[in-house]
Structure formats: C-alpha cells, structure tokens
Amino acid sequence: MNERPAAGERAVIVQLDFGQPDLGDQLEEIRLLAESAGGVVAAEVCGKRQSPDPKTFAGKGKVQEIAAMLAAAEADLVIFNHELSPAQQRNLERELKCRVIDRTSLILDIFALRASSAEGKLQVELAQLEHLSTRLVRGWTHLERQRGGIGMRGPGETQLETDRRLLGKRVKLLKERLEKLSRQRGVQRRARLRGDVLSVSLVGYTNAGKSTLFNALTHAGVFAADQLFATLDTTSRKLWIEGAGNIVISDTVGFIRDLPHSLVDAFHATLEAAIDADVLLHVVDSASHARDEQMYEVNKVLDEIGARDLRQVIVWNKIDLTQASPGVELDEYAKIARVRVSARSGEGLDLLREALADFARNKAEARKKAFADAEREAQNDYIN
C-alpha cells in the first residue's frame, strides 16, 4: 500500500500543462492535497508538453529538472498532479532515486488518513488495494506480516504471484463485508423512507463548506476544517423546522476533479444517502473562481452513482467572502433553484430553512394525496 507522507515530509510537486485552461486552479488544488496529507510543499516544477512521455510522463529534460529541484529543496518525495502508469512510476523512481506518487495515490492516502468509521476504513482499504493490484512490482507485507515462503507459496509460485493471490483474497473479503454493511444500511434506509420525513443530502466539491453548513443547521458538531476531505463518513441528523416538523439531513463525502473510480465504487454504500434523498443541497463555494468547474465535477459523480435526476437546489455558500446578499432565486417554473447563504456567519440560513420547510410540506401533501387516491381506488374496486 502507498506509504503515507510523514508529518512535515518535504515534497516537490509536478504540474504539466497539456493545454488545460484552469492550470492555476489545479496547481492550488495539488498544494492543498499535499498539505492535507501532512506534507510540506518544498518546491514546484511546471512545464508544457503536447502529450505525456510514455516512459517517464515528464520527459528526460524535465526529469533532470525535477532531480535538481529535489536536491536544492532537500526533498525526498515527488508528487505528480497527474495519473501515472505503473511503468512510468517505476521509471521515475529509478531515475530520481526517491518515492514518486501520483494524484490518485495521494487522494487515496488522504482518505486513509481521514477515515474514522469501520465502514469508511474498509472502503478506503478496498480502493487502495484495487489501485495497488496494478502496481505489484515488489513484495508487500502489510497484509501478511508472517509470510516468509513456508506454507504460503503454491508449487512453483513466484513471490509476485503469491502477492497477487493474497491481495485478491483480501479484496474479496472486503467486498463481502461491505456488501453486508450495505444490506444493513438498506434495511434502515427503507424503514426511514416509509415515514413522512423529508430526506435531504448535502453534496458538493470538497471544502465547499458542507460540514460547516450541516453543523449550522443541526448543531451536530461534525468535524469541519479548511482542508480537503475533512468529512468521509456520512452523518445523518433530524432537524426540526417550524411549520414542517422533522426532516432528516445527511452530510456526505466531498467530490473532487478526477476522483478515482475505485473510490467512487468503494464509497458507493456511503453515497447511497445521496441516491435515496428527496432533495440534494448542492453546496458551492461561491468565492472560488473555479466554482463552475467544481459544479460540473460534482454532477459528473452524481451521474455515476445514479443521482443526477434528483431534485437539486444550489446552496451558494460563503457569501461573507463575496459581499453578496442572502437571497433565494427561482427557476423558470417558479421553483427554488438557488439559495445564497454563509454557513459560517449564518446569513441566509433562515431562507434555506424556509425552502426545506416548503419541500417537506410538498412531500407531506403528495403523500396524503397518494394515500387518498389509493383509498379511493380500493373503494371503487370493492363497489365494482
């Protein structure tokens, strides 16, 4: 498994320009990711290429520049803000004589650092092992400390084959455990959905302020910090709203550009809170000039998990940083499309509560109508 950067470990980050428009935002994001993993960004190497070099991704001249920067900055870790193939990673480590990790490995590492629940830890380990399965180039001992060959190898089996076999068994076990937890969660969720309670999920790009908003609405005391992936485990709380009664609101893991597919798959059980919601509150950092791209990335993941068609309200957060006024914007059908708030200062939260109350009342009325229609149908069947 990828080793976690030690606290304060000095890293050189590499960002290459292949013609993408938001290079500055990507560079800022990789800095935040490195710091969230506990590293210190000692230096940055940038460059422009038409396409990745098949052997080292960056090309011979750029690798030499990275090596010089490593020595000058006294760093011992290189982080590429790109996805490297196993061969490219091996070649870079051979050339640079230090550890090299890519964006996917870094995100997986942060998830491992943040996971606190038993289910979250299982999900992260599964994603890491599936990523590692393509990179088995040397023996690994984190699963079977006692392996030494005796009783562990099959006839004529190489160490690499043994490693793959052990990894495959562990992956299968993790999937079985997660499937069991998913079934248990499904039973609890169906019991909730049978009631009249409105179900609301907070979704959004990482560090958009979801957990701060969740705490402001529910006083739950969920960990919230100005860092990427502060929340990994879904937390649900009941929220009493005057004139509408109780609703259930859930805080979910944040999304990010190029979120590894293995993580989306592994966290599917956690993200089911979003799939089963009546309303998604899509929390957006309105102070970020990359907000449009971030919204696109969130909707892309919602597509992947089957939640794109759910009722969605944009929560334009952090208006205290933009001097925008709190307010509600309607769409062409006179339905609530956007609410401008500051989760930190509390501005606009009364408007958001009113919007949630409206959704809750609409659900109760729709349920009452469906019940009356079903009763009327039953009476007609009886008469006929």
**C-alpha gyration radius of the chain:** 24
Q: For the whole model, what pTM was predicted?
A: 0.75
Q: What CATH class has 9-101?
A: alpha beta
Q: Is 214 annotated as a binding residue?
A: no
Q: Is 286 annotated as a binding residue?
A: no
Q: Is 350 annotated as a binding residue?
A: no
Instruction: State how far Cα 335 lies from the chain centre.
Output: 29
CA 35/CA 298 separation, integer angstroms: 22
Q: Is 204 annotated as a binding residue?
A: yes
Torsional class of 344: left (φ above 0), alpha (ψ -120 to 50), beta (otherwise): alpha
When mean pLDDT is compared across 114-128, 164-178, 315-329, the lowest value belongs to 114-128
Domain residue extents for the chain: 9-101, 195-369
Question: Which segment, 97-106, 217-226, 229-238, 373-382, is predicted with the most confidence on average?
Answer: 97-106
Q: Is 229 annotated as a binding residue?
A: yes
CA 30/CA 106 separation, integer angstroms: 9
Q: Is 296 annotated as a binding residue?
A: no
Q: Compute the average pLDDT of residues 236-257.
A: 84
Q: Is 342 annotated as a binding residue?
A: yes
Q: How far apart are the first and last CA of the chain?
A: 68
Q: Is 244 annotated as a binding residue?
A: no
What sign results for the dihedral spanned by CA atoms 298, 233, 269, 190?
A: negative
pLDDT for 267 equals 66
Each residue of 77-100: pLDDT tens digit?
999 999 999 899 999 999 999 999
Q: What CATH class has 195-369?
A: alpha beta
Q: Is 208 annotated as a binding residue?
A: yes
Q: Is 327 annotated as a binding residue?
A: no
Q: Is 349 annotated as a binding residue?
A: no
What sign results for the dihedral spanned by CA atoms 347, 353, 356, 358?
A: negative
- 9-101 matches 195-369 in fold: yes
Burial grade of 10 (CB within 10 A; 0-12, 13-18, 19 or more) = middle
pLDDT for 256 equals 82
